[in-house]
Each structure stands twice: as C-alpha cells, then as structure tokens.
Structure 1
Amino acid sequence: MKKPVNTFLRLVLHSNLIIAFAAVLLCLASEVQAGILLRFQSFHILVFAAALSEYSLHRLLKYYSLVRDGRKKRYSWLFSNQPLAWLFFFIPLTTFAVSFFFVDTPVKWIIMGTGAMALMYSMPVKGVVGFLSLRRIPFVKTFWVALVWSLVTVIVPLTGNSGGIPAGKISWIFIERLLLIFPLAMLFDIRDTDSDRKDGIRTIPVVFGEKMTRMVVVIFVFVFIFIYPVTAGDFVLHSHFLPAILWSLPVLWFIYRKPDSENPLYYSLLLDGSLILYGFYVIAGGFIFNHFNNFS
C-alpha cells in the first residue's frame, strides 16, 4: 500500500498538477476579491491547461539541454518516466487548443501575450535560441515570473467577467498578486542558484547570496500581509488579511526550516501548495462572508 501511495505522490509532485490547480484557484480568488459570483467558465480550463503545458515544456527543455548523466542526476523521475512527462505536455496542450476557441477575444489576446512571455522565459539560455531567453537579462527572471502569474490569474478572470469592476479594485488585486508571487519566485531562485550561476543567469540570490535573499523574502511576505490594511485602512478579513496570514505560515516555516529547502520536492509541496491554500482561503472566506450577509 505504501509504495502505490508514494508513486502517486511523486507523480503529483513531478507532473506540475499542483501549480496548474494553483493557477485556477488564484483566478477564482481574484473573482471573489472583485465581488464576482463564482461560476466555472471556459477560461478556467484554458488557464489550467496553459499552466500545465507550459511548466511541462519548461521542465522538458531544461531536461534535454543537459547531457545524459546530468539528466539522470538532476531529473531522476523525468529520466525514468519520459513518456508520461510528454503526456503531461501534449494532453493539456490539446486541451488548451480546444478551449482557446471558447473564450472571449480579449482573453485570447491576454493568453497569447502571456504565452509568448512564458515561452521566452522557458527558452534555454545556451544554444541556438539562447539569445531569445529573457533569463539572460540580470534580475529579470524573478520579476518576469511574478508578472506573468499576475496577468494570468488577475487580468484573465476579471476580463472574462467584464462588467463594472472599478479599475482601482483591479489594480489593487493585481498589486497584491505581484506581492504574493514575487517572494515565492525568489525562494525558487534560491533552489536554482547553482544551475543559474553555471548558466550565467544573474538572479537576486546569485548576486546577493542566499541569506540576504531570505531576508528580502520575509520583508515581502509582511508587505503582502499589511499593504492593503495600511494603505486602504481596511483589513478586509475574509478576502485578504486572514488568507494572507494563513498563507504566510507555511512560507515562513519553509524559510525558517532551512534543511527542508534542500529537497526540491518541498518546493512543490510547500510553496506551490501554499498558493492552493491561499486561493482556497479567499474562496472560503468569500463564501462565509456572503452567507452571513444573507442572514443579516
């Protein structure tokens, strides 16, 4: 019994399913924060398929850019499960292609733009197409990830639900999402420090070191928690403050428990998983808030 469970868990952790579900939950969270009544729509399928296919492609490109010994050492699961890894790319890619025709035109343009941004990020730094990789530009890697995620999980769902959402509210949700993703992206940069240094990619931890980066991450976590209450004078307990505090707990624990960060699987389990938790907290908070409002 234990072996099948471990096999399933490794499949989930290595297949990018966690990050794809996180993208959809963050889209739903944006809708709750904007005051939109939740209902499942075609762009949710599009976002899930896009995230799963893009992250699978990114991993495959990094895998095949290594020599055989390097592939087995760095990507042992992928080395032993290449056909399955390709399935996790082609099936969502096909789903993406089909669902693309069922979304509104503005959403299509945003998805095409962010898709191009993600593809330029995923390009190998070395080789014939290396000049196209945005990761060659110093410090761009971390900001680029946060920007793409914010565009996909905020602008896409709010555009797909167009109808009287104040521009100020959209801006606040977008800024909040940037502050949510950016510290997590820095922690992933810490994981990639050795490989980034070898590839000549100048990220925050490569230039300033791991200790300084961890301090910056902690600062951004607290900025994320308190920026809306401080600037707007409203804690918005159900859709921001409490979800932000609950999200910060596994992230701060991850930073404090440094030995855990040596295992790459903890990144998917704790950091990617924290995005799922945040999305769930916002959705649950919105449901409870509306439920009590109906009785008041």
Structure 2
Amino acid sequence: MPSAHSSSSASDPQRGPSGLQGGLDAVLYSSTWLALAALGLTWATFLFWQVHIPWRLGTMIFTATLFLYNLDSVLPYKHSQPVALSGRKSWMRAHRRSLFFLAMVALAVAGGLFLWDGWQHLIGFIGHLAVISLLYSLPIVKVKGRWWALRDFPLLKVFLIAYVWAAVTVWIPALYLHRPLLDPVVLVLFARRLLFILALAFVFDIRDFSKDKLIGTRTFPGVFGVRATKLVALAALVGAALLVPVGMPAQHQAVYLLPLLLAGGVIWFADESRSDYYFALLADGVMVVQFLVVWVAGMFLT
C-alpha cells in the first residue's frame, strides 16, 4: 500500500547492508512482500468459500500488485520532492532501474494472464480499478501551480486504497466463482475487508505525516491529528469485527479476530519516527496473518 525521517533501520549507505538485511530490504522495498499480502488476501477469500485459488489468477493478482507499486516507486516527480530520505526511499532511489524492470516484467505477466484466462469481458470492472490505481500517483490536474494525483486530494487516498484492495481481493474472486457482487455474503465480506484495509491505510498516513505536510497533501493526521486518526482506524477495525458473514462458525469468528487485534496494536503504536521495518514488515504483515488465520481455520476448525 503507498518515510519522512532518516532515522530508519537502514544501515550506513557507505558500508551497505549485510546479506540478510539486504535480502530483507529487497523483499520489502520491491513490494514483493506487499504483493504476497495481496495474493494472501485473495486466497483467503477463496478459502472462505472452500475453493482452491486458481494459480493463474493468484499469479495475476501478485504480478499486477508488483507492477503498480513499483511503477509508483520510480515515478520521477516523487524523487524530486523536497523531503528527507528514509532508508526505504534511499533503497528505492538506488534501485530505480531494477524496480522499473521488475514493474515491466510484472506487467507483461499480468497482462498475459489477463488475456489467457479471458477476463476481457470484465474489462470495464477491472479497468476502473486499474485507472484508479494508476491515477492514484500519476499527476492529472494542476492546482495552484502544482500537479496533483488522486492521492493529493484532501483525505481521499486512504479510501482509494481500501476500495481497490477490497475490490481486488473480494470482488474478483466472487466474479471468478460467478457470485453476484450484491449477494449479502459478498457485500459483508467486501465491507469487512474494506474496513480492515482502511484501518491499515491510516497507519501509512501516520508514517508519511511530515512528508505529506511538507508537500501540501492534506491527510487525516495532518487535518485531525495523529491520535484522532488512530481512533478512527480502531473504529474501522471494530466495524470489521462486527461484520460477520451469515453461517460463519463461532470458532471461526473467534479466530478471525486475531488479525484485527494485531492490526489494532500496530495502529496504536504507530509513529512516523518508527523504523521503516515497522511499517513495511509489520503493518503489511498483518495482511499475511489474515491469510494464515483463514488457512489454519479451514484446515483445523472445519
């Protein structure tokens, strides 16, 4: 999902990171970890309906996520912004060519699978998600002498992130399984996922608080304060917990609360001065935990 301080966990750029840390940085900052999270959430939706995820669809979701987030990370205007470089940003700047190459390969794979599986009849639905994702970071309108992307409109970016992630990880599996999007179970799953992602998106607004303030992007922390933003995020998690699909076994309901509780802890202790790893590894990692919980529940509690 798309730091302001240099007090990150990255090692001294003159010495370079250790092998283990270098590998971790590559997985996290190339958006591979995030793409795995997108795959995991999509897989979790299939598991809810007790269906195996088709490998081509899973690969398409994974590579499409890789493409979009790496394209975002190499946009020229983002590297000219007057902000202090965190370890994450420094790594991305040092590997811009590799990230661009990875994005292009991912696009080719995702596009090929899109055509192979015959998703063309849903080009309108999938296309609107692609447009939102691309225009999220690409400048589209000039406001007061500065080009704005969708993310620059006041208070908008967290809702865009939550909507696209929920649509991709819930609605696309539903369409694949020929389930109506307005089916009550699908709507509950979509709303639960949207609130879950929305809560986590607020964490990244907190991470980017100083950067967004410096470049003039009005986000929830900048307008209402960090503490109020955390309370709104926690309220979103409570809303997600209350949205229980009809027929879900009680033992599943209890286990499914674990990712929400972990997300609550990540939100409560979030601060822009924290390590890049806090956000890239833990905040995104909660989504991976969501998949693992659903998988374990399906294996042992059915």
State the TM-score, normalized to the length of structure 1: 0.84
Alignment deviations for residues 50-96 of structure 1 (CA, whole Å, 9 cap, x no partner): 111101111212x6433398585571112222222222212211111
Within the candidate set 39, 59, 71, 1:57 is matched to 71
Match of residue 294 from structure 1: none
Aligned equivalents of 1:152 and 1:130: distance in 2?
31
For residues 11-36 of structure 1, give each alpha carbon's deviation from its aligned partner in whole angstroms, at most 9, with x where no partner exists. Answer: 11111011111111111111222x24
The answer to whether the 8 A contact 1:125-1:136 is kept is no
Residue by residue, what CA displacement relative to the aligned partner does 1:215-257 show, whole Å, maximum 9, x if unpaired? 222222222223328xx5966432x4412x2213432332343
Relative distance call for 1:44 and 1:253 in structure 2 (3 A) is: same
Q: 1:175 to 1:256 in 2, by over 3 A?
A: closer
1:18 to 29, 33, 50: 33
- Give the secondary-structure state (helix, strand or coil) at the position aligned to 1:90: helix
Q: Percent sequence identity over matched residues?
A: 26
Matching of residue 242 in structure 1 with residue 258 in structure 2: no
| Aligned counterpart, 1:277 | 289
CA displacement at 1:97 relative to structure 2: 1.8
Higher RCO (Cα < 8 Å, 6 or more apart): 2
- C-alpha deviation, 1:199, in angstroms: 2.6
Q: Which residue of 2 aligns with 1:185?
A: 201
Q: Which residue, out of 206, 209, 232, partners 1:216?
A: 232
Q: Say whether the 8 Å CA contact 1:196–1:203 is kept in structure 2.
A: yes
2:115 to 76, 101, 115: 101
Residue ranges of structure 2 left out of the alignment (5+ in a row): 1-16
Does 1:288 pair with 2:297? Answer: no
Conserved? CA contact 1:46–1:99, under 8 Å: yes
Are the aligned partners of 1:124 and 1:130 in contact in 2 as well (CA < 8 Å)? no
| Contact preservation (8 Å) 2:161, 2:201 | yes
C-alpha distance 134-76 of structure 1, shift in aligned 2 (>3 A): same
Q: CA deviation at 1:284?
A: 2.2
Cα distance, 1:165 vs structure 2: 8.6
Q: Work out whether 1:82 is the aligned partner of 2:96.
A: yes
Counterpart residue identity of residue 126, structure 2: I
Alpha carbons of structure 1 residues 60 and 201: separation in structure 2 relative to 1, 3 Å? same
Equivalent position to 1:67, from 75, 80, 96: 80
Query: Aligned runs of 1:140-219 on 2, under 5 Å?
Result: 140-162=156-178, 167-219=183-235
Match of 2:280 among 268, 278, 286: 268
Is this contact kept in 2: 1:71–1:79, CA < 8 A?
Answer: no
Cα shift readout 1:155-212 (whole Å, capped 9, x = no counterpart):
1111112158981111111111111101001111111122222232222111000011
- How many pairs does the alignment contain? 283
Closer/same/farther in 2, CA of residues 27 and 205 from structure 1, 3 Å limit: same
Give the SS at the match of 1:138. coil
SS of the equivalent of 1:122 reads: coil
Partner of 1:113: 128
Q: State the distance in 2 between where 1:260 and 1:70 align.
A: 14
CA deviation after TM superposition for structure 1 residue 112, in Å: 1.8
Bigger helix share: 1
What is the root-mean-square deviation in Å for CA atoms of aligned residues?
2.9
The yes-or-no answer on 1:3 pairing with 2:18 is yes
Gaps of 5+ in 1: 291-296
